[in-house]
Amino acid sequence: MEKGLKKKAIATICCCLIITIVSATAGLKISLAADGTVKDGTYSIPVSLWKALEDKASMGNSALQQTGKLVVKDGKAKLYLKFISMEFAGMSGYLMQLNLLEDIAFNEFGYPENYTKLPSEVVSTYGIVDRYNEETSEDKVCAGKMYPKVVSVPITMEQEYIWAHVYVPVMGELDSGDQECRIKLDFSNMKEMTQAELDAWAEAEKSDPKQETDPGKLDKDNLPNGKYNVQVALWHATSNKASMGNPTLNSKALLTVQNGSYTMDVSTHPMTVGTITACLQTLQIRQADGSYKYAQITAKNNPNGQPSVFRFVLPSKEEYIQVKIDPKVEVMGEDPLPARLKISWDTLTKASDDAAVEENNKTVAAGLDTEAVDITDKKTKVRIKASKNVLVNGVKLKVTQLKSGSKYNKVKKALSGIGDKITVYDITLYSPENSKVQPNGMVKVYLPIPDGYNKKKLQVYRVSGSTKTKMSAKAGSRNCTFSSNHFSIYALVDISGGTGSSSSVSSGGSVLPEGDSSTLLEDTALPEDTLTEAGVETDPQITQSSIPYTGSALSTEKMMALMLLGISMLSSFVLVVTVIVFFIKMAGRRRT
């Protein structure tokens, strides 16, 4: 019996020792120096490009090979990244620039507003020459330069996120080539490189020979009968950049030539702008006499039977054809948008006689790539403030203070009994083409507090017809602020002389927006103002530290080490208890 007990105790002790040893070494895929730092060597590490303010891959992520090379020497680390061809909105291309960001100044939304660029070191280049990087290219960033294949940047170990800037010219076609982003490093899966991996990187770090351009080009003005492919894009009506509707257009068009008449087929796909998904609904082509003619819809293969192919006769063989497009997206305006169809005649190639226009019905995201906005209406002193990529460039603010009339009376009726002091504003945003637009995200609004209003008894309501929606608001010394992604009629209410609502706004405080229970909303979900694109409550107090950034969080390695230490300590405790129990039992048996 005593021998059996001894065997059980020894077995238990051995198990605990094994657990302790395994737990102390589990997950370690790299060799550590005596001081706990990573030994000099070459390691593979998972990498990706993440959006600046969202924890998901950026649009440029597909241009990056998802495994990087990390070289550690004398306590310093250098990260090597390989770039590959990416597909974007039916087009393909390469990344041209990657820079790290230093001396960053963040705006109130946590976005890097001002910074210094630290260029990456180009290790090797591709030999590709295309319309973006040829010597005569209009793209000044790319003209005459080769696309980088492998670049290197210095990093600090254990920093999971590194702020960066990238430029991808093919995304520039969609007005979103310049992007601030974050390089995400997965240190928990870092491991020493195998010889095969080292050989593959050595090959990648060799530059490709420069490709010679084909001198033989088709004459666009004298094409024989047949079919041809050509690259197209939707261009801004007056500026030398892509239109906001460009992401909906597949870049490869089909041109059919018959006895000097040029008929073009273009295909489209769905695009998302913020939380909205839409397709191009109509396309109008400007004729020689100045009138516009609708293109024929020849296919409806987009979701829900929406148009996917448009056909029209080219009115000329110029590079730019004036058009009007209507994707039915609020952020782009309520009316058809003037634009230009840009035909890149230098990409013209012969197609087979039975060729059809290529369709791609994949939904793409439309990046606005627009500047931050801070506008104050001179007359009413109402101010709006938005981060980058929320409002269209050149947006115009129109604010009308309502003091009488049918609109004002409807607001008074909707807010009856809440307060006796009400200031009503009709806030509207317009595009440079004078079409009404809505934001692609949250906009901060500042309403001036009139004299005589109790700053501790203020509420803000959005009023649409008989429906009132209480906003999340904060009263300051001069303004009452709130955030919204939709503009219409807003009312600032002093509830001192009324019943108010279930809760009021005190100076410096805030309440969540809430639908008024006295009105039946058509949609029983939360009002649209309660959510941003990422589903965040209105008036988020976002600061620089509210998103992950370089050095901001406990590294994955440290978290793993703490977890392993805990397991090890628990195993040691079990070991000690087992030994004590064993000897107590042995002592008891000897007494008997």
Eight-class DSSP state of 221: G
Q: CB under 8 Å to 8, separation ≥6 — which residues?
A: none
pLDDT given for residue 478 in this prediction = 94
122 within 8 A of 145, measured Cβ to Cβ: no
pLDDT digits (tens, 9 = 90+) for 421-453: 999 999 999 877 677 788 877 899 999 999 999
149 within 8 A of 124, measured Cβ to Cβ: yes
pLDDT given for residue 122 in this prediction = 96
pLDDT given for residue 491 in this prediction = 96
357 within 8 A of 308, measured Cβ to Cβ: no
280 within 8 A of 249, measured Cβ to Cβ: yes
> Which of 220, 233, 261 has the alpha carbon at shortest distance from 350?
220
Sign of the Cα torsion 458, 462, 468, 471 reads: negative
Q: What is the pTM of this model?
A: 0.45
pLDDT given for residue 562 in this prediction = 57
pLDDT given for residue 548 in this prediction = 36
pLDDT digits (tens, 9 = 90+) for 504-556: 333 333 333 433 333 222 222 233 332 222 222 333 333 333 333 333 344 44
pLDDT given for residue 566 in this prediction = 65
pLDDT given for residue 542 in this prediction = 31
The Cα–Cα gap between 254 and 488 comes to 43
Buried b or exposed e, range 208-239, using 16+ CB within 10 angstroms: eeeeeeeeeebebeebeeebbbbbbbbbbbee
Given a cut of 70, the residues of the chain with pLDDT beneath it are 1-36, 88-91, 172-176, 212-217, 273-275, 329-334, 365-369, 433, 498-569, 571-579, 581-592
Q: CB under 8 Å to 115, separation ≥6 — which residues?
A: 101, 102, 103, 104, 105, 163, 165
Task: Give rounded-to-5 percent helix, strand, coil for the chain.
Answer: 20, 40, 45
Q: CB under 8 Å to 140, separation ≥6 — which residues?
A: none
Reading the block at residue 579, the tokens are 């030994």
What's the order of all strands across the beta sheet hosting 252-258? 292-294, 282-286, 320-326, 337-351, 226-236, 252-258, 261-267, 309-313, 296-299
The three-class DSSP label of residue 318 is coil
Could you give the angle at which helices 2-25 and 556-591 cross, rounded to 10 degrees?
170
The Cα–Cα gap between 575 and 567 comes to 12
Reading the block at residue 53, the tokens are 């303010």
pLDDT given for residue 435 in this prediction = 73
